[in-house]
A = this chain, B = another copy of it.
Amino acid sequence: MKGLKGACMFAQSGGPTSVINSSAAGVFTEALGQELITEVYGAAHGIKGVLDEVFYDISKEDPKEIELLKYTPSSALGSVRYKLKPVEKDDSDYKRLLEVFKKYNIRYFFYNGGNDSMDTCNKISKFINGSGWECNVIGVPKTIDNDLYGTDHCPGFASAAKYIATTLMEINLDAKVYDTGMVCIIEVMGRNAGWLTASAALAGYKGLGADLIYLPETAFDIDKFVEDVKEVCKKNNNKCIAVVSEGIKLADGRYVGEFTASSTDLFGHAQLGGVGAMLGNIVKEKTGIKVRAIELSLMQRCGAHLASKVDVEEAFNAGAEAVKAAVNGETDKMVVFQRDMSSGSYECKYKLMPLELAANTEKTVPTEWIVNNGTGLSDEFVKYALPLIQGDAKAPLEDGLPRFAKLKKVLAKK
């Protein structure tokens, strides 16, 4: 059964990625072509924009700029980290959303994000559908962390993985250029799932990787870490590259990163500094070898100039598929990716899964893929990740620099 004739609302939520806007382009392109969809709205700063009635009329945008969104990192509409309260405790936000949905005749709602965002999307879906207002709600997955349940992988992961692997290959060449020793510790994002950190193994597959890789999936022991580094250094002319997740945890479950916060500098100011810098200090003290701690920071999630073509296309399709599904009457679902190797090569199939399964479940790296006493990844990981990072897809150059999308952001008429 088809959906109703009416407006659609799209919003972006959570941490941005290199390809989240490609999903936006997919939603916009598909929605603008659908007869049942009368208006296409993009909310400013996720669900906040809907609550505050701040959203843009996407039909006013230049199609060329919508195309450029595919190659423009970060959330073009603005993101948000706003957690809706459980409806049984406080339903005021939900009532407000329903009010806005009715006022603008919103019959289609698409929410683009990771675990937390799917939780939000799930809560909205349940409330709206329970209210009697007919509106099809579909979640569009997104997260560099790759930790959403029920999907082979998540849009955003592959581009970040490609950034990390490429950058690690370059750092590998740089870090061994002198004939003197150097320990290089590279910190990668991912609080509880080690997919991004694991992608260092892709650089290793090309012969320019890390000697040691530490994921949050296995308990981290600082003394063992120092011994691991020493052992590599002994074999390797005092050179060692270690990649650590920002989310590595001690055996008792505490984040190693917890111990960095209260240090101070000469001025007495609290030192920011991550896990990599802290481990670097320890290694320096215990070995006397020169150490360089590198944090890939925001670059790994916004480095769209290194986006994977597969990722850009799949992110776009995830958005387009969400619209098609909603128009065809689907609701309360999230788009998921299914890997199909039946043709002998990698293909991605787009499916739907109940939203509640996606909400707040974390998918971590299978522990059987973690080898070498917790310091490496098996070939299974490389086999899993390699098809996802294929091809280049980046913004055209203008003055030698990327020409990113520029949206007009015309506010919808109230």
Residues of A within 8 A of B (CB): 16, 45, 48, 72-75, 78-81, 162, 165-167, 169-171, 173-175, 177-179, 184, 202-203, 205-206, 208, 259-267, 269-273, 277-278, 280-282, 284-285, 291-295, 297-299, 301-306, 308, 386, 389-392, 397-402, 404
Contact = CB atoms under 8 A, between A and B. Distances in A.
Given A74-B174, A262-B266, 7 more contacts: A16-B173, A166-B402, A170-B303, A170-B402, A270-B281, A271-B277, A294-B298
Contact of A170 (B178, B285, B302): B302
B270 A260 contact: no
A281 B75 CA distance: 27
A165 B400 CA distance: 10
A400 B73 CA distance: 19
B265 A260 contact: yes
B399 A205 contact: yes
Identical copies in the complex: 2
A61 B298 CA distance: 39
Contacts of A292: 297-298
A162 B75 CA distance: 23
Contacts of A45: 178-179
A167 B269 contact: no
A294 B291 contact: no
B273 A401 contact: no
Contact of A272 (B73, B281, B398): B281
B263 A80 contact: no
Nearest to A293: B272
Query: A81, A174, A206: which has the most chain B beta carbons within 10 Å?
Result: A174
The 10 closest A-B pairs by CB, nearest first: A263-B265, A74-B173, A269-B281, A174-B302, A389-B400, A170-B302, A390-B400, A74-B174, A259-B266, A294-B297
A79 B176 CA distance: 9
Contacts of A302: 170-171, 173-174
Nearest to A162: B400
Given A169-B401, A170-B74, A305-B166, A269 B265 contact: no
18 contacts: A16-B173, A16-B177, A75-B177, A78-B177, A80-B178, A174-B298, A174-B301, A202-B401, A208-B404, A260-B265, A263-B263, A263-B265, A270-B285, A271-B277, A271-B278, A294-B298, A294-B299, A392-B397
A262 B294 CA distance: 19
Given A177-B74, A281-B271, A285-B269, A305 B170 contact: yes
A374 to B, nearest CB: 21
A203 B299 contact: no
Nearest to A390: B400
Contacts of A303: 167, 170
Given A294-B295, A404-B173, A206 B271 contact: no
A261 B281 CA distance: 11
A248 to B, nearest CB: 15
